[in-house]
Amino acid sequence: MNTASAFQSLIDLARNDTDRAGKELGQLVSERHNAQTQLSMLHDYRLDYAHRLQHATQTGLPASSYQNFRKFLATLDDAISQQDRVVAHKDTGVLEGRQHWQSEKRRLNAFEALETRARAKQRDHENRSDQIACDETSAGMFRRMRNT
């Protein structure tokens, strides 16, 4: 396996790893967005329910109904707290996913840079070989012309 082929294999593998990390990051961002949407819905529902309680207390509300309202609001508060933790966990996942993708991208860029340098070095070597061959041909022609 020649150097160009070896570099291309490494680049292909690194590109696949980068693409996979990018897809995973996209999935993590989507999950985080969904968790945040759910949290927003819980906040909106709690606010709506609190307004209902306020309206019900102004129009007259039996103590048992008031207790039920308060218990349900407490349940919503617990759900909001739990969803806050889920969003925070998703934030951490997105951060780690982004770092992983960046790491894979740097690795891919490094392999591409190495391949570019190797190709430039190969071109320089070929140019030097061509120049030597031209110099030898010119020197041979010059010697033949001098000897005639």
Give the CB-side neighbour count of residue 58, counting CA atoms within 13 A.
6
pLDDT bracket for residue 109 (50, 70, 90): very high
Separation between Cα atoms, residue 104 and residue 112, nearest integer Å? 12
Token pair for 28 = 């993590």
pLDDT bracket for residue 31 (50, 70, 90): very high
In this model, does residue 1 exceed pLDDT 60?
no
| Domain residue limits at 18 | 3-147
At residue 118, the pLDDT reads 87
User: What CATH number does the domain containing 135 carry?
Assistant: 1.10.287.1700
Residue pair 59/82 in contact by the 8 Å Cβ criterion:
no
Please state the domain count of the chain. 1
At residue 129, the pLDDT reads 85
